[in-house]
C-alpha cells in the first residue's frame, strides 16, 4: 500500500523550486526576436549534461504538454536526443486538484517525479530555469548553463493578468496574490487554498471565473461544486459565491446548473455577468460597474495570458490580447522559424487550455518535429482532442463530461469546435471514469 504524501512532506520535497478568430500561418523566412522585452541573461558555460547523441530537441516546461512532448519525441524517433528543462523539482497536477481541495483524493495522487518520467522514457531531465534564447546560434541559456539545440519546444503555460481586473499597484498585487491566490498554477496556491478551507469558520467564500480562453473552462464551476460539497458535508455555516465574468456557465452548462440547483441550494450562489473592475483585497470586496460583493475568504482567478517568458523572448503574436505565441497555427512552429515550436497553454489557437488537450496536441506536434527532422514535408493538419470530466458531487462521486475535436476553416483561417459530445447528466459511472482518465494520462506521461 502506498504511503500518503502529506502537505508537509510535499513542501519539503519541492522546496523553493515551485514557481513555475483570424490567425497567422507560418513561413520559412528568417526571423529575429525584435519584440523581446527581457534583458539578455546568459550563463556562459555549458550545462552539465551528456554530449548529444543525435539531433537534440530541447523541451522547456514540464507540464502536461512538455512531459508528453519529451516522451513522444523519443517514441516517434528513438534517434532524437531529448532534454526536458523544468524549473520545478516536483510535478503537481492542476487537473484533479479540485478533488484534493475537496478532500476526496490524497496529495500523492497529484504529485509525480520528473526523474522517473525521464528515466522511464529515455530522455534527459535538467532541473533549471530558462533565462535566454539565441535563435541564430540555436542555443538556450539556463541558470545551470547553456545548451545547443537542433529543435526547441517551448511549453511554458500561462501567467495571470491581474491588470485586467484593475490590480496594477505592486503592493496591492502582492497582497492579493498572497492572501487570495487563484489556484490554477499548481503548488503553493493549492496548498494555501486547502488550508483556507480547513480553517474556514463560516461566511462567504468567494470564487471567480475569468473571461476569455482561461485555463480549463469547466474547472472554476467544478471547484465551486466541490467546495460547496465540502461545506455541506462538514456542516460549515458558509456559502460559496461564484462570480462569473461570462453571461452564463461557459461549458457543460446544463450539468452544472443542475448541480447548483439540486445539490447545493443554500451552499452555492451563482452570479453571472460580473465583470470585475476593482478589487479591494484589504477590505475584502470585489466590484463590477454596477455591484460590490463582500467576502470572508476567497480564491480570485483573474484573466490569463501566455507565460511572460513568451513575451520576454519577443515571441508574442502581433496584437495578441492574451500575449500568446506567434506561431503557425497548423504546425506550432514560430512564424519564420521551423526550429522552434510552442505547445500547450501559450499557443493562440482557441483550443481548450486543459491538460488533456495539451497531451493530445503534444503527440501531434512531436510527430511533426520528428518527420521534419528526417527531412520529410508535413502538409496535413491533425486536430487535437479534448476529453474533460468534471466532478459535481462527492456523496456519491458523480461527474459530467465532454468530448470534442476541432475543425479548421482555411478560407477564414479560424477554428471551431467539432464532433462535440456533452454528457450533462451526472453519474457515478462518470465519477469513476474521472479517476481512470487521470490514472491513464499519468501513466502516459510518467511510465
Using one digit for the tens of pLDDT, what is the confidence trace for 248-267?
999 999 999 999 999 999 99
- Judged on CB neighbours under 10 Å (0-12, 13-18, 19+), 260 is buried
Helix (H) or strand (E) holding 65: helix 64-76
pLDDT of residue 163: 96
CA atoms within 13 A on the CB side of 103: 14
pLDDT, one tens digit per residue, over 410-433 is: 999 999 999 999 999 999 999 999
| DSSP, res 170 | H
Q: How far apart are CA 65 and CA 396, in angstroms?
A: 32
| DSSP, res 128 | -
Q: How far apart are CA 225 and CA 334, in angstroms?
A: 40
pLDDT, one tens digit per residue, over 130-142 is: 999 999 999 999 9
pLDDT of residue 36: 60
Positions of the chain with pLDDT lower than 50, given as ranges: 1-5, 7-31
CA dihedral (57, 58, 62, 64) in degrees, to 10, reads -30
pLDDT, one tens digit per residue, over 70-80 is: 999 999 999 99
Q: List the one residue out of 125, 96, 97 whose CA is nearest residue 17.
A: 125
Is residue 246 within 8 A of residue 211, CB to CB? The reply is yes
Amino acid at each position: 500500500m502506498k504511503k500518503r504524501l502529506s502537505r508537509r512532506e510535499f513542501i519539503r520535497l519541492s522546496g523553493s523550486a515551485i514557481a513555475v478568430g483570424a490567425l497567422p500561418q507560418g513561413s520559412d523566412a528568417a526571423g529575429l526576436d525584435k519584440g523581446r522585452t527581457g534583458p539578455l541573461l546568459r550563463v556562459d558555460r555549458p550545462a552539465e549534461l551528456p554530449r548529444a547523441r543525435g539531433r537534440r530537441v530541447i523541451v522547456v516546461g514540464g507540464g502536461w504538454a512538455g512531459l508528453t512532448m519529451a516522451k513522444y519525441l523519443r517514441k516517434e524517433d528513438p534517434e532524437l536526443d531529448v532534454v526536458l528543462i523544468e524549473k520545478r523539482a516536483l510535478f503537481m497536477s492542476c487537473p484533479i486538484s479540485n478533488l484534493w481541495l475537496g478532500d476526496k483524493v490524497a496529495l500523492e495522487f497529484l504529485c509525480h517525479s520528473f526523474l522517473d518520467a525521464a528515466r522511464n522514457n529515455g530522455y534527459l531531465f535538467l532541473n533549471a530555469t530558462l533565462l535566454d534564447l539565441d535563435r541564430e546560434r540555436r542555443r538556450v541559456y539556463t541558470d545551470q548553463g547553456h545548451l545547443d539545440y537542433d529543435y526547441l519546444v517551448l511549453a511554458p503555460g500561462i501567467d495571470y493578468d491581474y491588470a485586467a481586473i484593475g490590480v496594477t499597484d505592486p503592493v496591492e498585487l502582492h497582497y492579493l496574490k498572497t492572501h487570495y491566490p487563484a489556484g490554477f498554477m499548481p503548488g503553493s496556491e493549492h496548498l494555501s487554498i486547502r488550508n483556507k478551507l480547513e480553517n474556514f469558520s463560516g461566511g462567504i467564500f468567494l470564487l471567480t471565473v475569468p473571461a476569455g480562453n482561461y485555463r480549463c473552462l469547466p474547472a472554476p464551476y467544478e471547484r465551486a461544486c466541490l467546495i460547496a460539497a465540502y461545506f455541506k458535508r462538514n456542516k460549515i455555516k458558509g456559502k460559496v459565491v461564484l462570480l462569473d465574468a461570462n453571461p452564463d456557465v461557459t461549458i457543460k452548462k446544463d450539468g452544472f446548473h443542475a448541480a447548483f440547483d439540486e445539490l447545493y441550494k443554500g451552499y452555492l450562489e451563482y452570479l453571472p455577468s460580473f465583470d470585475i473592475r476593482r478589487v479591494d483585497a484589504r477590505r475584502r470586496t470585489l466590484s463590477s460597474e454596477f455591484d460590490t460583493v463582500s467576502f470572508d475568504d476567497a480564491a480570485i482567478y483573474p484573466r490569463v495570458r501566455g507565460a511572460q517568458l513568451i513575451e520576454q523572448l519577443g515571441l508574442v503574436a502581433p496584437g495578441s490580447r492574451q500575449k500568446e505565441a506567434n506561431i503557425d497555427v497548423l504546425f506550432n512552429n514560430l512564424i519564420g522559424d521551423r526550429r522552434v515550436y510552442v505547445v500547450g497553454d501559450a499557443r493562440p489557437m482557441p483550443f481548450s487550455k486543459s491538460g488533456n488537450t495539451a497531451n493530445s496536441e503534444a503527440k501531434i506536434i512531436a510527430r511533426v518535429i520528428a518527420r521534419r527532422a528526417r527531412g520529410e514535408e508535413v502538409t496535413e493538419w491533425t486536430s487535437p482532442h479534448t476529453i474533460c470530466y468534471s466532478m459535481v458531487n462527492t456523496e456519491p462521486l458523480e461527474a459530467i463530461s465532454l468530448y470534442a475535436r476541432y475543425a479548421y476553416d482555411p478560407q477564414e483561417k479560424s477554428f471551431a469546435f467539432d464532433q462535440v459530445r456533452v454528457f450533462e447528466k451526472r453519474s457515478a459511472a462518470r465519477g469513476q471514469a474521472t479517476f481512470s482518465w487521470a490514472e491513464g494520462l499519468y501513466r502516459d506521461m510518467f511510465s
